[in-house]
Structure 1
Amino acid sequence: MFDFTPPSEQTGLAPSDAFDELRGFVEEHREGLFAAAELLGATPGLRLAQAALDGVVAPQSPTRRTMRALADLLDLLMLEHVHDPSRIEAARFARIDPASPVVEEICLLADGLETALASYWQATPANASLAEGRAA
């Protein structure tokens, strides 16, 4: 009836290991994430990336606000809102040449961030609502 399996047994990662993986990804790709966020979201995108990434490198566990910012950054990188002409992403995305090498770099950053976030969300039940909200 009730599943009492600890999250670390479901994912193979303890919450701290999953957070270390997320932190490692962010630290390794920090400049690329900033550049991609600014390219796709202009100044608001850059501010979003700064809030998200600063929250991850803080010494404590990430706050709910940081996790929301990371989810929003992932949406930006995954081009979730480029179809909405009222959002800045639509105009910024329209200016990018599909053959540009930056497109592949953004895709790789988005995939890496998605993988790191998914591992963390699976290992940390408190963040399950953010993951579920994103999947909806």
Structure 2
Amino acid sequence: MNDNSKSMRATLRAAEQRGEFVAWLRADFNRLVAAADLLGGEPWTRRAGVVAEAMASGASPEVVEEELIELHRLLTLEFADDIESDEAARFAAVHPDDPIADDARVCAEALERGLQALRAFPALAVKEAA
């Protein structure tokens, strides 16, 4: 198999993953908003709402990529390191058996895969064009 064929397959796979991410964002925005509310409260609920509204209106995820990155950071508990933060207090109050806690984990994983696909797709497309 030549390099062009491998590169084309990688580009197609990245495009497919990006499409799956967009579909997930549009279908599961309620879970994302609820997870953001659970771990971050009202400010994060609003931020997740911005993403949901953008996706519902047909925007590409790149338009709200910064918000997606920040939501990923919230859902992977990066903000819980500061024990004085609201995010740390909210995380401490989460019961592990709460279904929304599991939704938050699922959303964090989906955001991880989706953000990787967003990064990979343009890089592979540029390489393919060159």
Same-fold call, TM cutoff 0.5: yes
Deviations 1:76-120 (A, max 9, x none): 111111111243211111111223333222211211221122112
**Equivalent residues of 1:52, 1:73 under 8 A apart:** no
What is the CA–CA distance in structure 1 between the aligned matches of 2:97 and 2:60, rounded to whole Å? 39
Greater displacement, 31-40 / 50-59: 50-59
Offset at residue 9 of structure 1 (A): 4.2
Q: Percent identity?
A: 28
Deviations 1:27-84 (A, max 9, x none): 22111111111111110110110122323333343455x1000011111111111111
What is the CA–CA distance in structure 2 between the aligned matches of 1:24 and 1:95, rounded to whole Å? 31
- Please tell me whether residue 51 in structure 1 is matched to residue 27 in structure 2: no
Counterpart of 1:61 in structure 2 is 60
**Equivalent residues of 1:8, 1:123 under 8 A apart:** no
SS in 1 for 2:30: helix
Unaligned 5+ runs, structure 1: 126-136
Greater relative contact order (Cα < 8 A, sep 6+): 2
More helix by share: 2
Structure 1 counterpart of 2:45, one-letter code? L
What is the CA–CA distance in structure 2 between the aligned matches of 1:90 and 1:123, rounded to whole Å? 34
Unaligned 5+ runs, structure 2: 124-130
Aligned CA distance change for structure 1 residues 79 and 5 (closer, same or farther; 3 Å): farther
**Equivalent residues of 1:11, 1:119 under 8 A apart:** no
What is the CA–CA distance in structure 1 between the aligned matches of 2:40 and 2:24, rounded to whole Å? 21
Give the greater-gyration-radius structure (CA).
2
Counterpart of 1:20 in structure 2 is 19
**Equivalent residues of 2:38, 2:100 under 8 A apart:** no
Structure 2 counterpart of 1:13, one-letter code? R
What is the CA–CA distance in structure 1 between the aligned matches of 2:24 and 2:17, rounded to whole Å? 11
SS in 1 for 2:80: coil
**Equivalent residues of 1:41, 1:92 under 8 A apart:** yes
SS in 2 for 1:98: coil
Counterpart of 2:83 in structure 1 is 85
What is the CA–CA distance in structure 2 between the aligned matches of 1:54 and 1:19, rounded to whole Å? 18
